[in-house]
Amino acid sequence: MDNIQTDRLNLRHITTDDAQFIKALFNEPAFIENIGDRKIRQKSDAVEFIQSKFYKSYAEYGYGPFAVELETSQTPIGFCGLFKRDIFRYPDLGYAFLSRYWSRGYALEAAHAVIGYAQKKLRLPTLVAITSSENTASLKVLQKLGFVDISAVYMAGYDDPSQVFVMRL
């Protein structure tokens, strides 16, 4: 995976050096509510998660999440990337940001960059995205990106259905 740069952001591989940041992000109330509790309570839990999930994805599929950093300070503010899900034929675009960085267009900017990467570097024909129908901010991002809402699906570990979106590249 290559690094990606936008006007305001750097997107790069997540490494075990990001463990403290991942721990903080994954324990934000909005992350737990919208994505789920990954039970990352210690820095060591984050290191293990990065190694078992993110590194595995990079090695097996050639894609995964990017750490999203502010270009000016290299401060990590979230992640955005592609995820392999067994229920989908195509990769899932996913993102999460620390709440103090919401409403600044960072999710949209990072997602545009990842979509370009998926199209130009990975030559993927299609992406999917999922979100809760209650997550209005994520719904707005997906709509602005041009994703089309196609169905609802029940995901393991969630009580309510998730909205499934698709984008042809």
| Model pLDDT for residues 37-74, shown as the tens digit of each residue | 999 999 999 999 999 999 999 999 999 999 999 999 99
| pLDDT exceeds cutoff 80 at 163 | yes
Q: Is there a domain that residue 45 lies in?
A: yes
For residue 37, the enclosing domain spans: 4-124
164 domain-assigned: no
What is the CATH classification number for the domain harbouring 67? 3.40.630.30
Residue 88 belongs to some domain of the structure? yes
- pLDDT computed for residue 139 by the predictor: 96
pLDDT at 160 over 90: no
By the 10 Å C-beta count (0-12 exposed, 13-18 middle, 19+ buried), 168 is classed as: exposed
Q: What is the pLDDT of residues 92-112, one digit of tens each?
A: 999 999 999 999 999 999 999
The answer as to whether 37 is a domain residue is: yes
The domain tally of the chain equals: 1
Do the domain assignments include residue 152? no
Please count the other Cβ atoms lying within 10 Å of the Cβ belonging to residue 99. 13
Please check whether residue 133 lies inside any domain of the structure: no
DSSP conformational letter for 144: H
| pTM value > 0.85 | yes
Q: How confident is residue 161, by pLDDT bands cut at 50, 70 and 90?
A: confident
